């Protein structure tokens, strides 16, 4: 089923990021965000009715929150997007939400490929929670953190983000250095999939990018590094420890 259409929203500034536990772990509880003086307005968007009903049922029980009907989503202080996985349709919704400066967006997701992390952050998402961990307390923590201008990421995703940012910084300081920063995280992920024998459509499905994006990324790699084709790019990356 299609995601509901929605008004748009964005992330302001550079929020602090709280790390939640990695999947399957039992992390120490994070300090609860301060409870706002007024109820936090929340709009919920979901890929299907079952997902929506489950999240709405849990949030409706909390007196700190006000769940908004579809006709009033424009005034939501926070927006929760609840999906199975990040695909082009989800990205389109996140981009629409990003255009509304009055709301901050969080993502509750079933499966999350590492390549999708940069995409959702670029779309203004500042908080991510896996659906397997989305009990009432964590959902409340997520919404209050969004309302307070904070960010929330599972610990493993926060680690990937810091690694990616570090790579970008190294690349900016020494763009000619032959290191992991020669490839972005997205480029490295795609080349790994090429090395495993996947074709363009299979890579697109795995990474949640369109086939056109996959082709463009791989073309950019071969052009920038002056390589002949995908096979040459994979060989180059393997020889130099880039994947």
For the stretch 21-35, pLDDT in tens is 444 444 444 555 665
What backbone torsions phi and psi does residue 5 show, to the nearest 5 degrees? -75, 150
Digit-coded pLDDT (tens) for 143-157: 999 999 888 887 666
Own/partner pairs, 53-60, CB within 8 angstroms, 24+ separation? 55/80, 55/82, 55/108, 55/134, 55/139, 58/134, 58/135, 58/136, 58/139, 59/136, 59/139, 59/140, 59/143
- Give me the percent of the chain exceeding a pLDDT of 90: 40
**Confidence class of residue 171 from pLDDT cuts 50, 70 and 90?**
very low
The answer to whether residues 39 and 62 touch, using CB atoms and an 8 Å cutoff, is no
What is residue 160's predicted lDDT score, i.e. its pLDDT? 59
**What average pLDDT score do residues 115-125 get?**
81
What stretches of the chain adopt beta strand conformation (E)?
Answer: 17-20, 40-46, 65-67, 78-83, 104-109, 125-130, 151-154
Quote the percentage of the chain above a pLDDT of 70: 72
Average pLDDT over residues 68-97: 92
Q: What is the pLDDT at residue 163?
A: 57
Q: Is the pLDDT of residue 95 over 50?
A: yes
Reply yes or no on whether the pLDDT at 173 is more than 80: no
Between helices 230-239 and 211-224, what is the axis angle to 10°?
Answer: 60
pLDDT at 61 over 60: yes
Chain mean pLDDT for the chain: 78
Cβ–Cβ < 8 Å for 23, 156: yes
* DSSP annotation of 170: H
Are residues 20 and 30 in contact, defined by beta-carbon separation less than 8 angstroms?
yes
Burial classification of residue 183, based on how many CB atoms lie within 10 Å of its CB (0-12 exposed, 13-18 middle, 19 or more buried): buried
Choose between 240 and 155: higher pLDDT: 240
Evaluate if residue 110 carries a pLDDT over 50: yes
Q: How far apart are CA 167 and CA 188, in angstroms?
A: 12
Q: What is the pLDDT of residue 140?
A: 94
Displacement of CA 136 from its chain's centroid (Å): 21
């Amino acid at each position: 089923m299609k995601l509901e259409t929605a008004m748009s929203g964005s992330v302001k500034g550079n929020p602090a990021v709280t790390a939640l536990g990695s999947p399957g772990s039992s992390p120490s509880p994070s300090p609860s965000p301060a409870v706002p003086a007024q109820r936090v307005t929340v709009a919920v968007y979901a890929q299907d009715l079952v997902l929506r009903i489950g999240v709405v049922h849990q949030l409706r029980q909390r007196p700190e929150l006000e769940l908004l009907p579809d006709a009033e989503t424009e005034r939501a202080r926070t927006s929760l997007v609840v999906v199975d996985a990040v695909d082009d349709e989800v990205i389109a919704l996140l981009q629409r939400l990003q255009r509304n400066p009055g709301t901050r967006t969080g993502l509750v997701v079933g499966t999350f490929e590492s390549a999708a992390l940069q995409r959702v952050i670029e779309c203004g998402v500042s908080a991510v929670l896996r659906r397997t961990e989305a009990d009432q307390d964590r959902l409340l923590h997520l919404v209050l953190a969004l309302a307070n201008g904070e960010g929330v990421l599972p610990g493993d995703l926060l680690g990937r983000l810091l690694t990616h940012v570090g790579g970008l910084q190294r690349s900016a300081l020494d763009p000619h250095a032959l290191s992991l920063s020669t490839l972005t995280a997205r480029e490295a992920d795609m080349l790994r999939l090429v090395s495993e024998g996947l074709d363009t459509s299979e890579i697109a499905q795995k990474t949640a990018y369109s086939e056109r994006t996959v082709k463009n990324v791989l073309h950019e790699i071969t052009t920038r590094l002056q390589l002949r084709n995908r096979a040459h790019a994979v060989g180059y990356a393997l020889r130099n420890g880039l994947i």
